[in-house]
Structure 1
């Protein structure tokens, strides 16, 4: 995604420094061999992109930057914070495509709350959310995303740098909601995707029954809104690009979707993570583990679980209790 974001930026005439993490050394080397083409994307980067390994990054590179965009996975967020604290000498806005939840005290919080105190030279946190597949953005397919920042002027300045005819951007002050939904959609995509294999259309070869998936998708959005609110975001954010829009894309494919398909076929998470998904990071599983203290330790949510969070608990049982995935449609709230 970090590489894909260089496409709208350079289409607008901006120079971009693309920095690979220690895990990306082979990727950077291959990009140089392939004329600037990322191995997972179709087209070479613009000549306005300079790709370097992190070992070559110095504080002088950040001095003239307009903005820093962080695209590491959630396990690498601590590494990224340390790196920026060592190299950032000027106060800059920092935007994140990293998605996840973090422990704060005895509770749970989004990166919008936990990262600003950690990054000394970050004067504004921006969360990038919404339905965006990296390859499609890199191919300039019409894409709508949302930038969340408590300072709306900062969000708009960043959006102005990135907005193109094909990359359409919305802005919001609800950075917490954007970040909450970005993490939660991975979790809920597991349960929605399970419907696609649990209820095949037996009258059509390889077909899927659409009604069960649509019902679970609606339920996922409702529960996402409620959990978003509990994490400090605005529930309405779950009904826009950051929530249901991103959920739709995630159900359409990827590791969370593949895990859900396996659960829908009555496989266990242990079996799936030991075979088809061995060695892969499934973000929804990490989100489930992060949510566990808040969900399982909250008596009010427990009391309401049968009719208020049925999909949440069905997914949690499968991931944390190693149970078969069961969603009782009699418990769904139909609206």
Structure 2
């Protein structure tokens, strides 16, 4: 039996407690300073996370952030970080203050870090900032938290430069319904985890940008399929630029995660708004007011990596018509418009 500490009581951090507990591991779920109401609700008898359907098993203990002690982390076999990208600063501080024994840390957090003209993944930046982290494990792939918590069939990918650590952690977490692949391309998995949020905005805009009133959902399918294919090509090119393997973009971490993200969530909702002719500012200040849309943060990081004007198709490594259209909307505050004549046709 392993001991696992999960930092962040959001839906994904909490959902990961389900397979871990089902494998009879002892799990400590720690709320962030923003999770007070969630922790209070879950600590009640039979308490349920407000966005999930069932109470966690008895071998999951939930505590507030100020109850976390150094010995909790020292006794853990694995630490899982389940915060959104703005929470990375808090997590880094907590781990540096309380982690006195080297331990592997797994991240479901998705994002890119930009410093001047340099853009990096968390896999490339966090190890040097958290000295007691013995290994960085990236968790990627298509996984809706509520579905995982409800034990619906889910496939994800765990990445670590040390393949043996990825194997051991996957063996700790895998169940009959939670199937896990492993890879050493931790940079590629982390890159795709962030990029799919960004590209989901543009692909989702196609769903509302070309309505078909004769369909039950009112959406044409061809435009979305074309944009999805373009997104996969551009994701592979950007993944490689960030230091990952372009092939990773065509697996669970890229295409798989992009598919599920286009299917729903905040990035998809922003895209739907853009597809109807609304501006990013309009959607973020109304429908998504106060919510973190991680694809927007990724866009800000990518601004220096994608040329403002896409070059010709013949220069494939520099060809980003979909990324450019998303950046025009998010960064340059233009209405979203994708020129289909510039898409790759293969």
Select 1:107's aligned residue among 108, 118, 121.
Answer: 118
Quickly say closer, same or farther: Cα 1:53–1:200, change in 2 above 3 A.
same
| Structure 2 match to 1:13 | 24
How far apart are the structure 2 equivalents of 1:105 and 1:149?
27
Are 2:151 and 1:140 aligned?
Answer: yes
| Structure 1 match to 2:66 | 55
Are 2:56 and 1:45 aligned?
Answer: yes
How far apart are the structure 2 equivalents of 1:104 and 1:236?
26
More displaced stretch, 30-39 vs 114-123: 30-39
Are 2:219 and 1:203 aligned?
Answer: no
CA-to-aligned-CA distance 1:25-78 (integer Å, 9 cap, x gap): 111001112523111100100100000001000001112111000011111101
TM-score (norm 1): 0.96
Q: Which secondary structure state, in structure 2, belongs to the residue aligned with residue 93 of structure 1?
A: strand
Quickly say closer, same or farther: Cα 1:310–1:44, change in 2 above 3 A.
same
| Structure 2 match to 1:251 | 262
TM-score (norm 2): 0.93
| Structure 2 match to 1:91 | 102
Number of residues of Structure 1 aligned to a counterpart in Structure 2 = 332
Are 2:175 and 1:164 aligned?
Answer: yes
| Structure 2 match to 1:225 | 236
Are 2:291 and 1:274 aligned?
Answer: no
**1:177, 1:234 within 8 Å by CA — same for their partners in 2?**
yes
Q: Which secondary structure state, in structure 2, belongs to the residue aligned with residue 126 of structure 1?
A: strand
How far apart are the structure 2 equivalents of 1:117 and 1:166?
35
Select 1:183's aligned residue among 191, 194, 204.
Answer: 194
Q: Which 5+ residue runs of structure 1 have no aligned equivalent?
A: none
Larger proportion of helix: 1
How far apart are the structure 1 equivalents of 2:345 and 2:180?
32
**2:188, 2:243 within 8 Å by CA — same for their partners in 1?**
yes
CA-to-aligned-CA distance 1:221-246 (integer Å, 9 cap, x gap): 00000000000000000000000000
Q: Which 5+ residue runs of structure 2 have no aligned equivalent?
A: 1-11
| Structure 1 match to 2:88 | 77
Q: Which secondary structure state, in structure 2, belongs to the residue aligned with residue 197 of structure 1?
A: helix
How far apart are the structure 2 equivalents of 1:248 and 1:164?
23
How far apart are the structure 1 equivalents of 2:78 and 2:39?
21
| Structure 2 match to 1:285 | 296
C-alpha RMSD over aligned residues: 1.5
**1:2, 1:71 within 8 Å by CA — same for their partners in 2?**
yes
How far apart are the structure 1 equivalents of 2:302 and 2:21?
38
| Structure 2 match to 1:131 | 142
Q: Which secondary structure state, in structure 1, belongs to the residue aligned with residue 155 of structure 2?
A: strand
**1:104, 1:114 within 8 Å by CA — same for their partners in 2?**
no
Residue 327 of structure 1, CA deviation: 0.7
Residue 104 of structure 1, CA deviation: 4.5
| Structure 2 match to 1:241 | 252
Stretches of 4+ aligned residues off by more than 4 angstroms: 304-307
Q: Which secondary structure state, in structure 1, belongs to the residue aligned with residue 35 of structure 2?
A: helix
Q: Which secondary structure state, in structure 1, belongs to the residue aligned with residue 231 of structure 2?
A: helix
